[in-house]
Every structure is written in C-alpha cells, then in structure tokens.
Amino acid sequence: MTLHVIVLAAGKGSRMKSNIPKVLHQVAGKPMLHRVIETASSLAPQQTHLVLGHGINQIEASLGVVEGSFNTVTQAEQLGTGHAVKLALSHVPDDTVSLVLYGDVPLITQGTLAECVAAAQSGRLSIVTANFSDPAQLGRIARDAQGRINAIVEYKDASAEERRITEINSGILAAPTHLLRTWLSRVTPNNQQGEYYLTDVVGMAVADGIDVHGIVVSNENEVMGVNDRVQLAQAERLIQHQQTDLLMRHGVSFADPSRVDIRGTLTCGIDCFIDVNTVFIGDVSLGNGVIVGPSSVVQDSAIGHGVHIKAHTVVEGAVVAEDCQLGPFARIRPGSNFAAGVKVGNFVETKKASLGQGAKASHLSYLGDAIIGDGANIGAGTVTCNYDGVDKHQTTIGKDAFIGTNSTLVAPLEIGDDAFVAAGSTVTSTVEPESLAVGRARQRTISKWLSPLRRKKNRD
C-alpha cells in the first residue's frame, strides 16, 4: 500500500517567543520541519502533506531548498490535532497508509517510522510511545491488564492515577487511511480543551476491534518535542552527539565531542583529529589523517588527506589537496583551490586563488583572483591589487617565482616562471620569466647627518 505522510505544523509555538515560526528554528543547521520532511522522504511516500497555519508564508518560502513536492493544507484555526489530520486526509486516497508526524519532533528516526508504517500496512493502528522520566503534560498511554493499549488520555482530561503513567504518546501514528478517515469523522471536541483530539482514534480502534500496535522507542530523546529554546538547545546537542558518535565509530577522533558543531554533512576518512570549538557548515569532506585545529570553521569545502588546518582558520568554498598546511589565522575564501603541499600561513587571505603544488604564502598576504604556479614563494605582506573600484583583474605568477616581502602586484599582471620580484616593489607591468623586477625608490644615504636630537646635544 502506498504511503502518504502528514506533517502537523500549524501551531503558533508561542513559547519560542519568536517572530520565526517554531518549525523553522534550526537544529544542526537545518529547520526542524525540513529535517522531519527529509526523514519521512527516506520512506519514499507518494506524497507529503504539510498542515500549516501560523507563519504559513514564511514556511512555504523556506521549502524551496527541500527536495520533493509538498501539498500544503491550510489550517486557518488550530482546532486540534484531529482537525488538522482530517483536513489533510481530504487529499489522501482511501487505499493508502497515512503516517502522521510533527514539525517540532525533529529527532525521530527512519527506523522507528518504518516500523510504524509496516504495522499500519498490515491493517493496524500503530502509535509511537516512550517512557519519559518526566512525562509532564503529555498524553498518557492507558493499557489493560494484558498490556494492550486501550486509549490515550490527554493530561488535562486524566485522573490522578492516569497522570502517574510514565508511558507517553509521542503523537506519531500510522493507520490505513480509510480507517483513520472514519474515526476522525466521529471525533468531537467534548473534552477539557474543546479540541478535536487525534488521540481519540485509539479508543475508537479498540472499540472497532482493530489492533493497536505500540512502538515503544528505547530512547525518549527520539520523540522529544521542541516547545521552547531550552528544548531547542537540548535537541541541538543530541543531534550533535549522534553525529560525532557516528564519526568516532568511523575512525575520527575529537578532542571533545561536545565542543564541535556540525551544521550540515561532514564526511571524514580515518585518523582525522578534530580539536575543540570547531564548526563545520554545509557539505564538508575531510580525507584521511586531517587535523582541524581549535576554533576553526570549515564550510562547503573538500579537504585532502593529511591536511593540517591550524587554529583559528576559516575555510569556505575551497578545494584543498593533500598535505597542505593552512593557518593559524588564515582565511580561505570561496574559489580557493590548492594543489598538494601548499602552505598558507597566518593572516593570509585567499579568494578565487589557485596555488600550484608546494606554493607558499606564509604570512600576511591577500591573494585574490590569482593563479600561482608550483613552488612559487609569496613573501610576507604581498598583496594582489585585484580591484580597481569597478572590475576585478587577474594576477598570474609562474612556477618557482619568488615574490619579495611587501610587494604590491597591480592586476592585470603576469609574472613569469622563475621571476624574482624585489622586496617592497610595486609591480604594474609584465615580469618576464627568469628576470628581476625592482619597483621601488632607490635608497639615499647621507653620511654624518645631524638629527635634531644630535644637534641639540651639540648645542648644550
């Protein structure tokens, strides 16, 4: 039977105290709702229906980056979870299975959802539950003497005895669509909150003799709901630990896995070492034996085997081949492309710069819109003047060229292989291969010159 996914996300989320809709708050660099949709997508549903209300425009605008097509169902007034699902079901054919998810339960796993759907495929109502250390105001799972699920009792409607139950309703459920539709048509708002409870379908299934299958997740965190920023931070750390645990099992070491943030996808070879306060954003890959020093940020970059990124280095949109050394305090900007063994040291900024094998810029440079040959040495303080206020221009530096300290290279400019630029030069025209360019004022020396201080001393 084909699967339809319904994600509830119409609520206001007032406890977030935010102008941003709750489900767009991010965990591990991704809005919670996008995370839920992506987890559900792994089950290959025929369609995903999003029930939206508060912040609908912002939410719809955010979905452009998520793969797949969504059907948006507007729930103008939040009359309860039962009402929300009922609205979505008008877009779902009878001979399917419906899976109900929540935009604010971001840690749910594919494994649990697959189990939930499988039970519904066999004609049962399947609900995901957990034993909570602090069940707070969540719905309680009522079971009979044989341990079969009888009903879900909402906290506000529960007796003192029922409130002592620690097994809670995550809210996530799956059922054959035609059954769910029939039950929801019978749900009324006759309860403490005057809401249409989705949870009422459990009692109806029992009354109809339909088997209710409970999936008790072993880790309560998997079904934690995010209602405020404290829970958001908890969810963030949980996901971070899931990610670092996985990487450690694949041969990566962390100085401290609780002081790393992965906001995207980090793939690593073996024997990498990742120091504290490092942040990985977007798609980052590290080869084998990469060292990432403390307080570095690496974003959307491919880093080769044996690269050492030293402390306080920022790398963005770069391709870095094996055995390069970057930093400390280097800034590698988009379009930087380094061949093997390149060294880019402290306070060096590169942008759209290709550095050939073994090229070095060890200190205090700006290299933008530059192609630099194998083995070239860029002296401290070298600056490519790539911008004239209107256009960007290219600097090309040949193989094994030597650019002396504090050189100003005014682009467009070509410096040939094995050329030598004297320290302190301002270079504005082509330097042929194997030639020397000196572009600076000649030194004058005045001997026996009396400085004001020496003159004063002579007077006194």
Tell me the catalytic residues: 363
End-to-end CA separation in angstroms for the chain:
106
List C-alpha distances in Å: 208 to 68, 254, 331: 36, 54, 66
In this chain, which of 3, 10, 40, 212 binds ligand UD1, going by CB under 6 A?
A: 10
SS3 282: strand
Helix (H, G, I), strand (E, B) or coil at 431: strand
Contact 54, 13 (CB under 8 A): yes
User: Between the CA of residue 281 and those of 29, 267, 299, 442, what are the distances in Å?
Assistant: 8, 12, 5, 50
Cβ-based nearer residue to ligand UD1, 102 or 183? 102
| Of 305, 386, 307, 402, residue with least CA distance to 351 | 386
CB of 317 to ligand UD1, least distance (A): 36
How far is the CA of 385 from the CAs of 293, 363, 411, 419, in angstroms? 30, 17, 6, 19
Closest CA to 377 of 396, 393, 358, 394: 358
Looking at 79-87, 265-273, 350-358, 360-368, which segment touches ligand UD1 (CB under 6 A)?
79-87
Query: Is the Cβ of residue 91 or residue 250 nearer to ligand UD1 in the bound state?
Result: 91
| 81 belongs to the binding site for ligand UD1 (CB under 6 A) | yes
**Window 114-153: contact mask with ligand UD1 (x via CB under 6 A):** ------------------------xx------------x-
Residue 86 neighbours by CB under 8 Å, 6+ apart: 181, 184, 185, 187, 196
Residue of 48, 75, 112, 336 interacting with ligand UD1 (CB under 6 A): 75
- 225 touches ligand UD1 (CB under 6 A): yes
Residues of span 173-202 touching ligand UD1 by CB under 6 A: 197-199
87 belongs to the binding site for ligand UD1 (CB under 6 A): no
Give the Cα separation of 408 and 394 in Å (integer). Answer: 14
Q: Is 9 in the site for ligand UD1 (CB under 6 A)?
A: yes
Please identify which residue in 63, 84, 309, 320 interacts with ligand UD1, judged by CB under 6 A. 84
* Minimum CB–partner distance for residue 155 and ligand UD1 (Å): 8
* Choice between 74 and 258, CB closer to ligand UD1: 74
Torsion over CA of 332, 249, 262 and 316, rounded to 10 degrees?
10
H or E element at residue 112: helix 110-121
Closest distance between ligand UD1 and the C-beta of residue 83, in Å?
5
Report how many residues bind ligand UD1 under the rule CB under 6 A.
27
Helix locations, 208-290, DSSP H: 229-249
Q: Map the footprint of ligand UD1 across residues 290-309, applying CB under 6 A.
A: none
Residue 190's alpha-carbon distances to 157, 193, 194, 368, 419, in angstroms, are 10, 8, 6, 68, 87
CB of 153 to ligand UD1, least distance (A): 8
Q: Tell which one of 3, 45, 89, 154 touches ligand UD1 (CB under 6 A).
A: 154
Could you tell me which stretch among 35-43, 78-86, 239-247, 420-428 binds ligand UD1 (CB under 6 A)? 78-86
Q: Return the residue nearest ligand UD1 (CB atom).
A: 139
The reply to whether 220 sits near ligand UD1 by the rule CB under 6 A is no
168, 175, 180, 297: residue in contact with ligand UD1 (rule CB under 6 A)? 168
Among 80, 176, 214, 375, binds ligand UD1 (CB under 6 A): 80
Neighbours of 258 (CB within 10 A): 10
Nearer to ligand UD1 by Cβ, of 108 and 272: the residue is 108
Residues at the site binding ligand UD1, with contacts judged by CB under 6 A = 8-11, 51, 75, 78-81, 83-84, 102-104, 138-139, 152, 154, 168-171, 197-199, 225
